[in-house]
Amino acid sequence: MTFNYSPQDINRSSKQQQFEKLYLVEQCRCGDSSDSNSGVDSHIECSLFITLLNSAPEYQALSYTWRDSAERPKLGHILLDGHPFKITPSLENAMFELRSGSVQIFWIDALCINQKNNPERSNQVGNMRTIYKRAENVMIWLGSSSGSVSRAFNLLEAIYENR
């Protein structure tokens, strides 16, 4: 069985958008290779909850590279509300790197937007500016350390120094 989203009411006036429902993901458990009881070498378990955009708890927004469709056959997975959920390798790497020993609350587009429901997806994309603005922190994941990531940071540093 796979994860199923609950549909959101997207027929709201602009005045009601401040009360827009927002999915947030709670990263609640990360197994690792020392977790011999899990039967899985490593995994991430998360749960989704719905809150109102104007009264959401503190959360981190995660922006990450999606990569090209050539990586699609190599999709990773997490457990979302106890059900397998496929994610890109880039997102899987980010979630592993950002895990901690405590519960973390994130807004991650691939998890918090129902990608298969076009009207709902369009509505949520329209709220992304506010979603990122209200986040306690916005984290940008460029990928695991590699030559291209190092070059990108060197370029950013050069731009900053030459401003």
Per-residue model confidence as pLDDT tens digits over 74-110: 778 888 988 899 898 889 888 888 887 778 899 999 8
pTM: 0.72
What's the CA gap between 69 and 73, in Å, rounded? 8
Tokens of 150: 């190092």
Q: Which two tokens stand for residue 88?
A: 């890109």
Q: How confident is the model at residue 33 (pLDDT cuts 50, 70, 90)?
A: very low
What are the strands, taking DSSP E only, across the chain?
21-31, 43-52, 60-64, 76-80, 83-87, 104-108, 137-141
* 8 band by pLDDT with thresholds 50, 70 and 90: low
Token pair 């999606």 is found at 66
Report yes or no: 71 and 89 within 8 Å, Cβ to Cβ.
yes
Q: Which residues contact 110 (CB under 8 A, 6 or more apart)?
A: 87, 88, 91
pLDDT at 161: 92
